[in-house]
Amino acid sequence: MADVPILSLTTFLPLVGALFILLIRGEQEAVARNAKSVALWTSVITFIVSLFILTGFDPSNPGFQLVEEVAWLPAFNIAYIKGVDGISIWFVLASTLLTPICVLASWDAVEKRVKEFMIALLVLETMLIGMFTALDFVLFYLFFEGVLLPMFLLIGVWGGPNRVYAAYKFFIYTFIGSVLMLLAILAMYLTAGTMDMRVMVDYPFPSNMQIWLWLAFFIAFAVKTPIWPAHTWLPFAHVEAPTAGSVMLAGVMLKMGGYGLIRANVQMLPEASFFFQDVVFFMSIAAIIYTSLVALAQSDMKKMIAYSSVAHMGYVSMGIFAMNQQGLDGAMFQMLSHTFVSAALFLCIGVAYNRLHTREMAAYGGMAKNMPRYAVVFAIFMFASVGLPGTSGFVGEFLTMLGVFQVSTWYGMLSATGLVLGAAYMLLLFRKLFFGKLEKPEVKAMSDLSAREVAFFAPLVAIVIIMGVYPASFQNVYNPTVEKILADHQASLKAAGLIEAGAPETAELRTETPATQPASEN
């Protein structure tokens, strides 16, 4: 498999499918049917191809693997470089897994302009995979921005009543964030003399420059992640987007922010990350507590899940900047868990919405009686979102909190309140939808999950439980990379004199442990 450019293949296969769909002509119904099947086949094949990335990946190697390198624009020192490491590989697979699920979920839900919808979805997949596998900063930026276009159309053309406002807000927020990142990339290029991210990771940028670069990157990724207070576009985008749009948004696009924070902020700008640690903690805790409270007050179920996403991503940003093994491990795990759980929750809401065409919780009730299968599926993901042991959500939140407690007990305590609030609003949502009397006639008439719906929920249920019961299966792949990132991070902090040479971890420094304490490695 070594000589097959497997990453490029995975990236551009969906685009090929999109081109095929573009060529479909004929009767409107036939076009819609063919477009759907081409999209499904393309995305399934892409998923199968992407599994070869996993088989070709050596988890014990912490560096970049399966690297492809072609000179592209020598005039600007830009090359086409692709590769994956432990951090990015899961996100590639998550993108390829969620796309066929999205196609299935939109099978009947999308009625107008099906052909264009499928094209947008496949282009989105290409952009997402391309972004996670890019190792040249310009390539990274191209794909990062390329995501905007299909998502803008998905929200704006197939969205709800307030879709235009939501699409604009989504676009302008993310665009302004990322153009600042572009300036930072240009400045880094002029300093380091290369666009190769592998080189930049090791390049020691001057300390005062790091502060500004860090801020520019942080704004871009904080909007994407989203971190409070840059999260306000998210509820609108989620509420108005069609189900498939919400799934891709919550499942993969938010992870672009977390991935970027690890790759650019932590790996390339370690000193500034150390400097801004408290700011990030403050913003993350604000996100966890504030957005959980806001979620509690929602009557629109999609909006509630959207706010819960912000809260869950708060754990991610906190875990990343805890800068210790548990924290970063936990952040990775939490991101993966959130990928599947939130995607599944949006799919669940899509199921109800397709039948009743409202997102108001009050319109439902008592569905546990006439839709038992749906209730079970919903309950599994609800518990995973709350963080019940045995589900993926527990592992992620537990590890992140473990990491945060090492930094500061107060931060840990405050962030723990999010767990309680999370349980409160999710249980409230579940109670309102599934319990109570089944008295509304239109709810009574709703049918349980169809075979197609079961087909796309089944893999998600399996993943969420496997991740909860045997987390090492996922962790083993990225653990060596995380260890290396942290080791590099400590090394550069020591080189900069920010932590003392003997101190094993930043956490110890903050509690003012004497430097004479023997170093204990994780």
Partner 1 sequence: MATFPDLAPALPEIFLACASMALLMIGVFRGEGSLRLVSWLTVASFIATGFLLLQGPEGRNVTFNGLFVSDSFGTFAKLLILIASSLAVILSVNYLEKERVARFEYPVLIALATLGMLAMVSANDLISLYVGLELQSLALYVIAAFKRDVAKSTEAGLKYFVLGALSSGLLLYGSSLVYGFAGTTSFDKLAAVLEGGASVGVVIGMVFVAAGLAFKISAVPFHMWTPDVYEGAPTSVTAFFAVAPKVAAITLFIRVLVGPFGDLAMQWQQVIQFCAGASMIIGALGAIQQKNIKRLMAYSSIGHIGYALVGLSAGSQEGVRGVLIYMAIYLAMNVGVFAVILSMRQSGRAVEEVADLAGLSKTHPMLAFAMAVFMWSLAGVPPAAGFWGKWAVFLPAIQAGLYPLAIVGVIASGISCFYYLRVIKAMYFDDVTEPLDRPTPTAGFVVAGAALFVFPVYIVFLSPITSGAAAAAAALFGAR
Interface with partner 1 by CB under 8 A: which residues?
73-76, 141-142, 145-146, 148-149, 152-153, 156-157, 163-164, 167-168, 171-172, 175-176, 179-180, 182-183, 186-187, 189-190
The distance of closest approach from Cβ of residue 220 to partner 1 in the complex, given in angstroms and rounded to an integer, is 11
Which is closer to partner 1, CB of 160 or CB of 504? 160
SS3 of 197-266: the string is HHHHHHCCCCHHHHHHHHHHHHHHHHHHCCCCCCCCHHHHHHHHCCHHHHHHHHHHHHHHHHHHHHHHHH
The distance of closest approach from Cβ of residue 209 to partner 1 in the complex, given in angstroms and rounded to an integer, is 11
Q: Which is nearer to partner 1, 144 or 307 (CB)?
A: 144
Residue 75 vs 362, nearer CB to partner 1: 75
First to last CA, the chain: 35
From CA 13, how far away is CA 96, in angstroms rounded? Answer: 11
Q: Which of 222, 29, 183, 177 is nearest to 115 (CA)?
A: 29
Question: What is the nearest approach in angstroms of partner 1 to the Cβ of residue 272?
Answer: 16
Residue 483 corresponds to which amino acid? E
| Comparison of 152 and 425: residue with beta carbon closer to partner 1 | 152
Smallest separation (angstroms) from partner 1 to the CB of 113: 8
Q: How far is the CB of 168 from partner 1 (least distance, A)?
A: 6
- Taking the CA atoms of residue 290, residue 292, residue 296 and residue 298 in that order, the dihedral angle to the nearest 10 degrees is 80
CA pair distance 267, 274, nearest whole angstrom: 11
Q: Which is nearer to partner 1, 156 or 251 (CB)?
A: 156
Residue 174 or 400 having the CB closest to partner 1? 174
Measured from the CB atom, the residue of 45 and 149 that comes closer to partner 1 is: 149
Residue closer to partner 1, measured from CB, 230 or 507: 230
Minimal distance in Å, beta carbon 322 to partner 1? 31
Token pair for 434: 């599934």
Closest approach of Cβ 212 to partner 1, in Å? Answer: 8
Measure CA 224 to chain center. 9
372-386 and 451-469 helices, crossing angle to 10°:
30
Taking residue 113's Cβ as centre, other Cβ atoms within 10 Å add up to 17
Q: At its nearest, how many Å lie between partner 1 and the CB of residue 183? A: 5
Give the nearer residue to partner 1 in terms of CB position, either 161 or 514. 161
Nearer to partner 1, 222 or 433 (CB): 222
Tokens of 488: 């590099």
Backbone angles phi, psi at 66, to 5 degrees: 55, 35
Report which residue type is found at 200: M
Amino acid (one-letter) located at 18: A
Q: How do 65-73 and 78-84 pair as beta strands?
A: antiparallel
Least separation, in Å, of the C-beta of 169 and partner 1? Answer: 11
Structure tokens at 259: 């991935």
Shortest distance in whole angstroms from residue 259 CB to partner 1: 18
CA distances from 504 to 272, 325, 410, 518, 519 (A): 19, 12, 21, 8, 5
Joined tokens for residue 506: 């930043």
